[in-house]
Structure formats: C-alpha cells, structure tokens
Amino acid sequence: MLMADNNETQALREQLYQAKQVVKGIKDGVFSVLNES
C-alpha cells in the first residue's frame, strides 16, 4: 500500500467528513418531511 503524504490524507479525510455531513443532512431532511406527512 502506498503511503499518501499528510496533506493528501488530511484532504481526503476532510472530503469524507463533508460527504458524511451532506448525507446526514439529506437523511434528516427526508425524515422530517416523512414525519410531517
């Protein structure tokens, strides 16, 4: 396995974190809409 340098690793972690936040936001939005109906 190739070791990415710290900058690349940090960038990937930030992108992954942001993606998780987006997914969480979408799920929360969908659930709130479903609960209202």
Dihedral of CA 8/13/18/20: which sign? positive
In this prediction, residue 37 carries a pLDDT of 74
- Over the range 7-20, which residues count as b (16 or more CB within 10 Å of their CB) and which as e? eeeeeeeeeeeeee
Q: Can you give the pLDDT of all 37 residues of the chain as single tens digits?
A: 566 688 999 999 999 999 999 999 999 999 999 998 7
pLDDT of residue 1: 59
| CB contact at 8 A, 27 and 35 | no
Looking at residue 5, its pLDDT comes to 83
How far apart are the C-alpha atoms of 13 and 1, rounded to whole Å?
18
